[in-house]
Amino acid sequence: MIIIGLDPGLGTTGWGVIAKSGNRLSHIANGQVSTDPKAPLAERLVTLDRELTDVILAHRPDAGAVEEVFVNTNAQSTLKLGQARGVCLLALARAGMPVSEYATRLVKKAIVGTGGAEKAQVQAMLRVLLPGVKLAGADAADALAVAVCHAGMVRGSA
């Protein structure tokens, strides 16, 4: 089973693709989609959609997982994050795969064992769980963590 995880953001969306075979996980690819902060919102959303679609077509995942939105103190930031997250959900659903959503604390607990883990702890565990992985950045690492979390939630393999 091929799983793609997404960490939504309007400025940068992380993505990570892993393979699950039985209890074994392996890294396939990871990266980040960045949008131009000076571009109009609609154009940024189109860029995000286009680049995520390219990643999905390149790796043909069987399932997708997206990190849930946390509420910022800035309502405008939360709204923009929600719009980027909507594009992520749409891109996965349009590709015909089942899509799951996970809270940040659940992802951290699945990877490190505690929902309050720091980003450095999550990244260190990803290097243990996915030997040889080269992380494309913090958002890509978060996306891989979402994919690994989902792998632990699904039964069997394809």
Output the six-digit token pair for 133.
């992985």
**One-letter amino acid for residue 152 of the chain:** G
Active site residue ranges: 7, 67, 139
On whether the CB atoms of residues 10 and 32 are closer than 8 A, the answer is: no
Considering its fold, how many domains does the chain have in total?
1
Backbone Cα Rg of the chain = 15
Residue 71 lies inside a defined structural domain of this protein: yes
pLDDT at 71: 64
Residue 158 lies inside a defined structural domain of this protein: no
Low-confidence residues of the chain, pLDDT below 70? 71-72, 156-158
User: Residue 136 is part of a domain; what is its CATH number?
Assistant: 3.30.420.10
Instruction: Determine the structural domain holding residue 15 and report its residue range.
Output: 2-153
Residue 145 lies inside a defined structural domain of this protein: yes
Predicted TM-score (pTM) of the model is 0.93
Residue 11 lies inside a defined structural domain of this protein: yes
On whether the CB atoms of residues 9 and 139 are closer than 8 A, the answer is: yes
